[in-house]
């Protein structure tokens, strides 16, 4: 029998060894595809107090999928070969990617919003709870945001806490903070997984249609921020007014307490109230792409087909969504089995049900909305409808762990 504590000890030993080489390896967390390092912009501003660090992770799958989507969007802008939901020029995409001014982050979405933790107390005592310059491109920081909402992996000291807190599954950053909400509770939809409210019995699993609607609400919110319809400096409460009325209930269930605390959209994504419009737009787009990409991981979502080639999962050739999984009852170690790099990561064309192809359409629509000043949500909603389409719409299958990923029981420990 493996107790969770035993597993944690093994993982921590490995993790600390890896940290010596400043290479953090993801395992046992809820991200479907592993995070990776990103190229540092040549003209990156110097980090405040030396905080920022270009920490490299195992296999940069989310980043590579995002770059592949960007490359596809650019190639379609230059030479269209398929039907994109939105049509834009390559120059418009290039302009959308430009950020003038400093790119600033902080850890305060965890350390100011919600209950504090020993990690936050330590950062505060060390004077590292303020703003710092990011050394990653905002689109890449955005695609990392869902797994690291408080940007703990972007700086040296917080990165160690992030490693201890999230790579090992220890409880030190637990309870009332957004990382915990994202991984275990009401924000699991950020990873295309079924949310479970903190007050819910662990045996109550959300219906697939409810999760689908929650993901569409989040997709609209992130998309409208990405295209600039929702201003970066609107409050989260004001942002709700931009959403379709049918999304309001899901918004309240997901964001009410954060909206009531009057946080701004800029703060949600960066931890800073006055981040630049372009930085916030790009980070929201990255966060949306993360959810899309996760929805093609078998440990997050059961789709109609689950193609595997040479023991490796594929993301192409999958069908519509049958049911969502929920991390609360999964074995963290088994969850990670589906995290391997898909062999067909870049093997796609526009129009296919593939996260890179669909991501290219979301990018083109966000650029089109921002460039024209007219929302492209209706076009993006069509992309979302194809991305997250349910095989059986209406009341249907409740979330579960997934047959290959069972393991954690209701008290949070791993089953024998």
Stretch that binds Zn ion, among 24-32, 118-126, 329-337, 403-411 (CB under 5 A): 24-32
Among the listed residues 149, 143, 140, the one whose alpha carbon sits nearest the alpha carbon of residue 114: 149
- Give min distance, CB of 290 to Zn ion, in A: 6
294 binds Zn ion (CB under 5 A): yes
214 binds Zn ion (CB under 5 A): no
Q: Which is nearer to Zn ion, 11 or 294 (CB)?
A: 294
| Residue in 31, 182, 210, 370 binding Zn ion, rule: CB under 5 A | 31
- Give min distance, CB of 149 to Zn ion, in A: 11
- Give min distance, CB of 323 to Zn ion, in A: 17
- Give min distance, CB of 92 to Zn ion, in A: 29
Stretch that binds Zn ion, among 118-126, 140-148, 256-264, 405-413 (CB under 5 A): 140-148
Residues 170-209 that bind Zn ion (CB under 5 A): 191
Stretch that binds Zn ion, among 31-39, 89-97, 154-162, 385-393 (CB under 5 A): 31-39
Q: Which is nearer to Zn ion, 182 or 370 (CB)?
A: 182
- Give min distance, CB of 120 to Zn ion, in A: 22
Q: Which is nearer to Zn ion, 134 or 339 (CB)?
A: 339
Stretch that binds Zn ion, among 122-130, 132-140, 144-152, 334-342 (CB under 5 A): 144-152
Stretch that binds Zn ion, among 50-58, 88-96, 259-267, 291-299 (CB under 5 A): 291-299
Q: Which is nearer to Zn ion, 38 or 146 (CB)?
A: 146
148 binds Zn ion (CB under 5 A): no
Residues 311-370 that bind Zn ion (CB under 5 A): none
- Give min distance, CB of 377 to Zn ion, in A: 23
Contact residues for Zn ion (CB under 5 A)? 31, 146, 191, 294
């Amino acid at each position: 029998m493996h107790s969770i504590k035993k597993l944690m000890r093994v993982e921590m030993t490995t993790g600390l060894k890896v940290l010596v080489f400043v290479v953090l390896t993801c395992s046992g967390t809820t991200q479907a595809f592993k995070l990776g390092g990103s190229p540092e912009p040549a003209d990156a501003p110097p980090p405040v107090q030396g905080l920022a660090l270009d920490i490299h992770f195992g296999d940069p799958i989310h980043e590579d999928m995002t770059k592949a989507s960007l490359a596809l969007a650019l190639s379609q802008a230059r030479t269209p070969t398929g039907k994109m939901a939105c049509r834009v020029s390559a120059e418009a995409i290039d302009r959308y990617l430009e950020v003038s001014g400093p790119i600033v982050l902080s850890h305060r979405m965890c350390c100011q919003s919600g209950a504090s933790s020993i990690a936050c107390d330590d950062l505060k005592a060390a004077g590292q709870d303020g703003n710092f310059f990011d050394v990653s491109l905002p689109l890449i920081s955005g695609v990392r945001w869902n797994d690291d909402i408080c940007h703990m992996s972007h700086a040296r000291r917080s990165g160690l806490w992030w490693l201890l807190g999230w790579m090992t599954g220890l409880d030190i950053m637990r309870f009332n903070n957004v990382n915990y909400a994202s991984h275990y509770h009401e924000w699991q939809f950020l990873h295309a997984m079924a949310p479970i409210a903190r007050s819910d019995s662990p045996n109550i699993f959300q219906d697939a249609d409810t999760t689908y609607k929650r993901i569409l609400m989040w997709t609209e919110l992130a998309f409208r921020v990405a295209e600039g319809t929702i201003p970066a400096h609107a409050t989260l409460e004001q942002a709700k007014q931009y959403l379709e009325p049918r999304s309001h209930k899901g918004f309240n269930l997901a964001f009410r307490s954060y909206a009531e605390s009057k946080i701004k959209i800029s703060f949600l994504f960066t931890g800073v109230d006055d981040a630049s419009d372009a930085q916030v737009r790009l980070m929201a787009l990255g966060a949306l792409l993360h959810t899309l990409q996760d929805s093609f991981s078998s440990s997050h979502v059961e789709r109609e087909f689950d193609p595997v080639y040479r023991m490796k999962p594929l993301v192409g050739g999958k069908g519509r969504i049958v049911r969502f999984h929920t991390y609360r009852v999964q074995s963290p170690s088994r969850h990670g089995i589906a995290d391997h790099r898909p062999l067909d990561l870049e093997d796609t064309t526009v129009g296919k049900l593939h996260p890179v192809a669909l991501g290219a359409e979301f990018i083109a629509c966000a650029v089109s909305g921002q460039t024209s000043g007219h929302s492209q949500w209706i076009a993006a909603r069509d992309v979302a409808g194809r991305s997250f389409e349910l095989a059986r719409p209406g009341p249907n299958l409740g979330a579960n762990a997934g047959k290959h990923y069972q393991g954690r029981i209701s008290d949070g420990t791993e089953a024998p």
